[in-house]
Structure 1
Amino acid sequence: MERILPGHTPPVLHSTKPLQNRQSSFEYRWLTEDPDRRGEREALLHDEERPRRDTFGHAGRRRSFTLGRAAARLLAGDVLGEAPANVPLRRRSDGAVVVEGYDGALSIAHTGPHAVAALAPPPLGVDLERIQPRHPDLPGFLLHPDERRLLERLPLDRTRGVILCWTLKESALKARRSGLRTSPKKLRLKDVQPAAGRALIRDPEGPVALWQARFAERDDCYLTFVYPADAAQKE
């Protein structure tokens, strides 16, 4: 179990108390596909999850599903003091996965051989994307016209810039629990600082007007966490 990112050391998350504010810390668990541990992680799936896993036609997608659920149960087991296999996960009608009977927010992401799960006071969104070239039309889908020059200003090559912007917006869409039912263009990126691993995201129509993002590169991926900005950042 890991703290969110280097340099961010909020107080410890208490599993026995209601998670009412952003003063509690949040934790994440990162897993990488390991054939020698595949059976161990498969064993963490509950019976009701196996049919959903089996609906994915691609073997890699089935492994990603298993890895994400394993990361979630291992993390929640650490936080709650439970055996990971006993952690009850439930998929809501909006697609979000929650820990049954627990008032913290759970967010899961996976890409390629990696998966990450995070727990925090709600709301929370996490995204994980491999840094590799994408369809040339992605920036047009992702960025509002007012943001188009952002890619030119970032001190990153274009591929990294596009993937970073994608993970920032995807995390915020997951935190607001709408996913891609909401156009990414409705969000506005602000004060993106690659060296510091920080950004702000304006969400004029969402439940939270301003999101804080923390991000880092890890294993050729961008890993991004989004949660509500505090009052000082909104000024």
Structure 2
Amino acid sequence: MTADTSLIPVMDLLGGQVVRGVRGDRQAYRPIESALCRSSDPATVAQVLCTHCAATRLYVADLDALMGGPAQFGVLHTLLEAVPGIELWLDAGFADAAAAAALMTRLGNMSAPHVVPVYGSESLRSREAMAQAFDRSDELGARAALSLDRRDGRPLDPAGCWEAPELWPQRVIVMTLERVGTGAGPDLETLRSVRQRAPAATVIGAGGIRGPEDLAPARQAGADAWLVASALHDLQLPPAARAAS
């Protein structure tokens, strides 16, 4: 979107609708009210967000699955059809590689290659599961991403992901949940720390972007990209074509 840092639009799915994420308090999420697209229909929102950002990647958090329910397979299929060619980064509460592989099998041979499984540190069950999830000799493991999740300064991390940078994959997300949807500004200190520990990784920030003024500092802190939702829906970030002009 700009020369400063690229944006990856985000959708939180709950009960078949796009909802607005605030501080990671999933029980309190409500259907999105958006000045950008005026709809909570997943396919509509996906098309508008990807067009607005000229995005080739779309991050989806399946909140039904993250809260222990079944993944929203029908919605995921619809999204892949609505935005053909998109790389869909999917966090569906994967506890291990087997869980991700099972979901890919259900999505089918045509859809699965377009999906990047995102393993959240809050969801991975063990250090062993983490190592298996990012086994680069496995096709699925080679394209997987890790989300290092934290809230209020504390890692959400039963498997000890934060303390095992030797096991981190090529793509690492720094997810500061208390800043999601709050307009509090990005957590650049934590992002710098992760960048220092993984200098060769692709590091993606998440949470807190308020507008264009935050993008250059994010890049300077080491972000290759940033996950964004609220600033897009609130029209705080211009369309890609205008931002590039």
TM-score (norm 1): 0.32
Relative contact order higher in (CA < 8 Å, ≥ 6 apart): 2
Larger Rg: 1
